[in-house]
Amino acid sequence: MLYRRSVGAGGADGAFEVLLGHPGGPFFRQRDEGHWTIPKGEPDGPDDDLLAVARREFEEETGHRAPGDGTSNPIPLGTIVQKGGKVVHGWAIEGDLDPATAVSNTFVMEWPPRTGKREEFAEIDRVAWFGPDEARRRLKPTQIPFVDRLAAILAGADPNAQEPKPDGS
């Protein structure tokens, strides 16, 4: 997940934005809140380096290489399990990207259904920067913990700390 210190706030007080992608294809054309995603994908084999896979998928879905010049080290954000059971390993890395220059890879599917016609669609039809609150509204619900964990890390808190119980313990 690419993040940048918020432009308007100058990065003060941990203010930041994350880059999210809107899924392409006809099923998501009219869907917005709760459907955006972090750039992600699946390893080709069981021995693939997961961070390398994340970098590859970022490039495939945005048309840009993930920052990796040594000035910004990836921040591990742990894992989540999506609704369909897919396990997603997340990292955050600081950088910038102009959404107008993003170009995703494509996929082909039969469209409209049962017509025999095949159409090509962008896997990600657009990307945009969002502050944490808006990102939580836009993201698939299972991916929201990645934003929460990044916010905790940037604020200097332990992202794995447990919330206190109602009795204070």
The sheet that has 87-94: what strands, in order across it?
A: 75-81, 87-94, 2-5, 16-23, 124-130
Residue 32 has pLDDT above 80, yes or no: no
Residue 167 has pLDDT above 50, yes or no: no
Under 8 Å between Cβ of 77 and 98: no
Q: What is the mean pLDDT of residues 99-122?
A: 95
Give pTM, 2 decimals: 0.85
Under 8 Å between Cβ of 93 and 75: yes
Q: Where are the domains of the chain?
A: 2-154
Per-residue pLDDT reduced to its tens digit, 116-142: 999 999 999 999 999 999 999 999 999
Q: Does domain 2-154 have CATH number 3.40.50.300?
A: no
Please name every residue paired with 87 in a beta bridge, in sequence order, or none if there are none: 81
Per-residue pLDDT reduced to its tens digit, 35-74: 999 998 888 888 999 999 999 999 999 999 999 765 568 9
